[in-house]
Amino acid sequence: MALSSAHFFLSFPYYTDFGSKYGCPKKRKEIKYTCFSKKGYYATVINHDMNWPQIIPLLLGVVGGAIGAYFQSLFQHKKQMKENEYAVKKQRYFCINLLLLAKVDLPNNLQFLLAQRPNLTTEELLDKEIEVEYFNSFIFASDKVILGLKKFINSPSYDTYYFVCNAMRNDLWGNKISLPKIRTNRVTIERQ
């Protein structure tokens, strides 16, 4: 009989009488597990002749279930941690991308930067913010992204911007930009 959530178990031995309602003569038998349901109850009688070959599979089932539940819980926790880490990286990388693009071409990108970050009104404040993002990246970014940010801070250009973006894309999705290296400015995009 399949058990539903309406069933529950009593796991201590006690004695009970089976009446003629259940088709048995009135006898006292020791009951180990009794399951109650909405329609009545049924019982499993203890076999006093149980030996190790009968007990071992039961114990293995209980231990195996506990071990399986533990590893499933561990797997779910690690999966949740990875999802949280990915969400933080994605958010930070998009912010860094906006800051770097504004730094490369500040006069043309200032209006977009001010729409997102109204407190960054001067190039000095923008430089400070990029340095702060560089130091924050030690917590979550890959080595290649950190190296790229350092190169960008030392010499901001479209080439170092491209290097950082490629490293961030590789860190987030595991792939690089498949286009040949490009040099970008506001007027043209030309291949090298």
Check: CB of residue 157 under 8 Å from CB of residue 150: no
- pLDDT at residue number 50: 61
Residue 106 CA: distances (Å) to CA of 29, 169, 182: 89, 23, 20
Is there a domain that residue 61 lies in? no
Give percent of the chain with pLDDT exceeding 90.
Answer: 35
Burial class (CB in 10 A: 0-12, 13-18, 19+), 145: buried
- Do 187 and 134 share a domain, yes or no? yes
Query: Which pLDDT does position 9 carry in this prediction?
Result: 42
Mean pLDDT of 76-83: 93
Residue that wins the pLDDT comparison between 185 and 59: 59
Number of domains the chain is built from? 2
Q: Is the pLDDT confidence value at 108 over 60? A: yes
- Look at residue 70 and tell me if it is in a domain: no
Q: Are the CB atoms for 137 and 96 separated by under 8 Å?
A: yes
| pTM of the model as a whole | 0.58
Residue of 155 and 192 predicted with greater confidence: 155
Tens of pLDDT along 111-150?
A: 888 888 888 888 899 999 999 999 999 998 899 999 999 9
Rounded average pLDDT over 93-101: 92
Structural domain harbouring 39: 7-46
- pLDDT bucket at 40, cuts 50 / 70 / 90: low
Do 19 and 100 lie in one domain? The reply is no
pLDDT at position 148, please?
93
- What are the angstrom distances between the C-alpha of 53 and each of 47, 66, 143? 13, 21, 56
Q: Are residues 92 and 140 in the same domain?
A: yes
